[in-house]
Structure 1
Amino acid sequence: MWFKSCKMTFVCFNRMKSYRYPWTRLYSTSGTTVDSSEVKTFLALAHRWWDEQGVYAPLHSMNDLRVPFIRDNLLKTVANHQPGKPLSGMKILDVGCGGGLLTEPLGRLGASVIGIDPVAENIETAQRHKSFDPVLDERIEYRACALEEIVEETAETFDAVIASEVVEHVTDLETFIQCCWQVLKPGASLFITTINKTQLSYALGIVFAEQIAGIVPKGTHTWEKFVSPEMLESILESNGLSVQTVAGMFYNPFSRYWHWSENTSLNYAAHAVKSGAQEHQVPVESVLKEETEELQATASTIAGVREEVKK
């Protein structure tokens, strides 16, 4: 059951920018944005995806926010929809689908969903779980691969691409976003949930969640890979995706529920829409400079936190 009482508060960016990129070539599939060390981490947990009280409990609970977030924003693009199957007729790509925790609810809403993940054992778990439901078995397809491997065959195929709790694990965020752009239809949506790069996200997301409380396994996250909403927005806009909404998210480890928040200093969700032909590119150098200065300013603080944890 979806958690109904949380109030959804959005920080909306009503941008009238139209950055469109008529890419002359597709990105080579010889490279990958997948981090092999991250694959090993998730490989060890592949059999635990559907344990609602286990290490993936926060992701099960996150569906209370992210499923309505995706559904409601997609429904803004259609005039009519079927009762009970509002996403019927839509084709969605779930990147980094894991065991299918988000893929299945989207399938139940009527969408045709392809879930991809570089960990073959995750895909085996997802395949096995969806096989218990004949309807889902027909609507959902799983593939053990990286996004870069399917760019050419699925160019401008999807009405939506989902990257939920994924971008903080990739090796090259900009290339990853460019691949998302390529597989989206013009006017289609990209949905991202991820973790901000702040002192608070380090203290709570890594020190507390991983090292103290054990909410998630140690080594799940690398703070240096976290991305701020400002940086993510700049990368999205510079690669032909117009940001529509950014909303803060907060997880209460005691109630095990997620809530929407105006504060994006920890987790946040973003919705962007693919534009059309290229007009101009937004430079990201200024944001990179600001990000570097912030990292330098907080380095000593984080080092201090690490020392305290060791004690």
Structure 2
Amino acid sequence: MTVTVDAGEIAKFEAMAAEWWDPNGKFRPLHMMNPVRLDYICTQIAGEFDRSLGTDRPFAGLRVLDIGCGGGLLSEPMARLGAEVVGVDAAERNIPVAEAHARQSGLAIDYRHTTAEAMAAAGERFDVVLNMEVVEHVADPLAYLTACRQLLKPGGLHLCSTINRNPKSFAVAILGAEYVMRWLPKGTHEWSKFITPDELYDLMERAGLTPVDRKGYVFNPVSWKWSISDRDLSVNYVTAALAPHGPSGA
């Protein structure tokens, strides 16, 4: 079994684990981005599985995996929407933080300290795999995405967001976020690990997934808000892809 975990990347997030639910802490960018992330995720899941977001628990009966769950910023909304949620993270210290917050919120979420590869090897399968802001931190993106595809049931939905690689993303995601705004600790991201949308589409296709959509997340420094864009994928972006309808295989 290929292991794609990067020990250096895990250590960065271990050090920040206790701050996951502080909206003004080191994960402030994720808290600010979370509404648009959730909007995209919910729209894609509802469309793919013919669910109405106007009902109380529209995702009831769906099994959702949140890879790199951190403190549970996506796992908890998915659980509130009725999904059976498994949240996994390779950073061990994140798990008790996520478990404690879920208990405080009255939510039943299965949190585990493990990896996508281990889950796939164990035969776990899901209707939806959330792979948000993780692929730029792994050692082998193709092997990692292959494990994500193996984790999907036939016809399952894979949602993956990451950061584009270009001069603008270096200026915004590294210089701006880490050095100017100090939203993130210096060294959180490595520009060389960023992946362009075309590269990600190619990697997903090589992993056995069929890409079906991609959108940009755009931050407006005037309104201080994020929005979803059909055209601007220059920095943060998100993709949707489907697993084959036949057996997922190895």
**TM-score (normalizing by structure 1):** 0.75
1:257 maps to: 225
2:103 maps to: 131
Equivalent pair of 1:210/1:219 in contact (CA under 8 Å): yes
Q: Offset of 1:276 from its aligned partner? A: 3.8
Helix, strand or coil: the match of 2:104? Answer: coil
Residues 261-294 of structure 1, C-alpha deviations (whole Å, 9 max, x = no match) = 221111101000112459xxxxxxxxxxxxxxxx
Residues 153-183 of structure 1, C-alpha deviations (whole Å, 9 max, x = no match) = 234x100101111111011000001000101
With over 3 angstroms needed to count, the CA separation of the structure-2 counterparts of 1:253 and 1:40, relative to structure 1, is farther
Indicate yes or no: 2:192 matched with 1:221: no
Superposed, 1:50-199 pairs within 5 Å as: 50-79=21-50, 83-134=55-106, 136=107, 138=108, 140-155=109-124, 157-199=125-167
With over 3 angstroms needed to count, the CA separation of the structure-2 counterparts of 1:248 and 1:80, relative to structure 1, is closer
Distance in 1 of aligned mates of 2:237 and 2:49: 25
Q: Offset of 1:103 from its aligned partner? A: 0.7
2:236 maps to: 267
Equivalent pair of 2:95/2:113 in contact (CA under 8 Å): yes
Distance in 2 of aligned mates of 1:54 and 1:254: 21
Helix, strand or coil: the match of 1:76? Answer: helix
Q: Offset of 1:189 from its aligned partner? A: 0.5
Equivalent pair of 1:85/1:109 in contact (CA under 8 Å): yes
Distance in 1 of aligned mates of 2:51 and 2:9: 41
Distance in 2 of aligned mates of 1:194 and 1:142: 23
With over 3 angstroms needed to count, the CA separation of the structure-2 counterparts of 1:62 and 1:145, relative to structure 1, is same
Equivalent pair of 1:58/1:256 in contact (CA under 8 Å): no
Equivalent pair of 2:48/2:157 in contact (CA under 8 Å): no
Q: Offset of 1:222 from its aligned partner? A: 0.3
Q: Offset of 1:90 from its aligned partner? A: 0.4
Q: What code does the residue aligned with 1:232 have?
A: L
Identity across matched positions, percent: 38
Q: Which has the higher contact order (CA 8 A, sep 6+)?
A: 1
Distance in 1 of aligned mates of 2:32 and 2:173: 16
Helix, strand or coil: the match of 1:77? Answer: helix
2:8 maps to: 37
Q: Offset of 1:244 from its aligned partner? A: 1.0
Q: Offset of 1:95 from its aligned partner? A: 0.4
With over 3 angstroms needed to count, the CA separation of the structure-2 counterparts of 1:121 and 1:142, relative to structure 1, is same
**TM-score (normalizing by structure 2):** 0.93
Q: Which runs of 5+ in 1 are unaligned?
A: 1-27, 279-311
1:303 maps to: none
Distance in 2 of aligned mates of 1:80 and 1:248: 24
Residues 72-106 of structure 1, C-alpha deviations (whole Å, 9 max, x = no match) = 11112334558111111100010000111111011
Q: Offset of 1:245 from its aligned partner? A: 0.7
Distance in 1 of aligned mates of 2:243 and 2:219: 29
Q: Offset of 1:233 from its aligned partner? A: 0.3
Equivalent pair of 2:63/2:126 in contact (CA under 8 Å): yes
Q: Which runs of 5+ in 2 are unaligned?
A: none
Q: Offset of 1:227 from its aligned partner? A: 0.2
Equivalent pair of 2:64/2:86 in contact (CA under 8 Å): yes
Equivalent pair of 1:242/1:272 in contact (CA under 8 Å): yes
Total equivalences in the alignment: 245
